[in-house]
Each structure stands twice: as structure tokens, then as C-alpha cells.
């Protein structure tokens, strides 16, 4: 695991942009962290790294926002309003959590992946391409990001 402190939303987006440039088809990025921790900022950067120019916003009420126009499609999921795996399946989101036709970024991923293996690469029950990232509020301007991206 790699830990870094982002001192601004722009730094968080820049990290996401690097991840977006490296992303390959079928990648699932599982994000955890409290409200205001910077999860959506990271997704904005991932979209930019994929070459997506659309305005990215959290899909809290829609559960899923889909963005095209880049190198790969981006599926931005927000599981905050769901309480169980059964609700995720009932909402029709399961396909995006294992074999997305592009890249899936999942905010509040603990709602789905919490009972899965803690290993990070191709463990049973996890997608073949999987990154886990936790974002933590350290101060008004600093966010601590701990992740297992292979190219930190």
C-alpha cells in the first residue's frame, strides 16, 4: 500500500489523471472515505486521464453516471444510499463491479467489497483489474490517500 498526502483538490485530481492514463479495460477502482474526503475529485481526474471532457459529478441519487468520449468509457457508481449487496444487485449495478465495459469507479465501495478478500490483485470474488483506495480527511486542505495502485 502507498500513502500520500494531497494538499489540494488539484493534487487529488492530478493523481486521478495519472490513474486514468494508466487505466485498462475492465479496471474497477474501489474508493472508501467519509463525505468530503475527495472521492469525487479523484474521479474527476480519472475522467480527465481517460480523455473525457464531460463535467463529472457524484451520482449519489442516480447511483450511476456513465461518461463516454474518452479512450475508455467511465462508469461512476455511488453506493452511499444502498445498505447491502442485495440492494446493489437489485439496482442492477453488479455487472459494473466485475467486468465493466470500460473503467468503473465505485464510491462507498465498502458497501460491496467489505466482505471480500483483503488481497488486491485477482483474488477470488474480485475483478481481475482492481485498485483499492481509501481517502481520509486530515485537515481542511489535506487528504490522505492510501492505495494499492501498482504504479504509485
* Rounded average pLDDT over 110-134: 62
Which pLDDT score is estimated for 125? 62
Q: State the DSSP code for 55.
A: P
Q: Is pTM, for the whole model, over 0.75?
A: yes
Closest CA to 10 of 53, 49, 41: 41
In 2-62, the DSSP E strands lie at 2-6, 27-32
Average pLDDT, the chain: 87
Residue range 23-67, pLDDT digits in tens: 999 999 999 999 999 999 999 999 999 999 999 988 878 899 999
d(CA 134, CA 100): 21
Q: Which domains does the chain have, with CATH numbers?
A: 2-147 (3.40.50.300)
Residue 118: strand, helix, or coil:
coil
Q: Calculate Rg over the CA atoms of the chain.
A: 14
* Rounded average pLDDT over 108-130: 60
C-alpha 31: how far from chain center? 5
Amino acid at each position: 500500500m502507498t500513502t500520500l498526502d494531497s494538499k489540494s483538490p488539484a493534487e487529488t485530481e492530478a493523481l486521478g489523471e495519472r490513474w486514468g492514463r494508466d487505466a485498462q479495460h475492465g479496471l474497477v477502482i474501489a474508493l472508501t472515505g467519509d463525505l468530503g474526503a475527495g472521492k469525487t475529485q479523484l474521479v474527476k481526474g480519472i475522467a480527465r486521464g481517460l480523455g473525457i471532457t464531460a463535467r463529472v459529478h457524484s451520482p449519489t441519487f442516480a447511483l450511476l453516471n456513465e461518461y463516454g468520449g474518452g479512450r475508455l468509457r467511465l462508469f461512476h457508481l455511488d453506493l452511499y444510499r444502498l445498505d447491502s449487496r442485495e440492494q446493489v444487485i437489485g439496482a442492477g449495478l453488479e455487472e459494473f463491479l466485475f467486468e465493466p465495459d470500460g473503467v468503473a469507479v465505485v464510491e462507498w465501495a465498502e458497501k460491496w467489497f467489505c466482505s471480500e478478500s483483503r488481497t488486491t490483485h485477482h483474488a477470488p470474488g474480485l475483478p481481475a483489474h482492481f485498485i483499492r483506495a481509501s481517502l481520509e480527511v486530515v485537515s481542511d486542505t489535506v487528504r490522505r490517500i492510501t492505495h494499492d495502485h501498482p504504479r504509485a
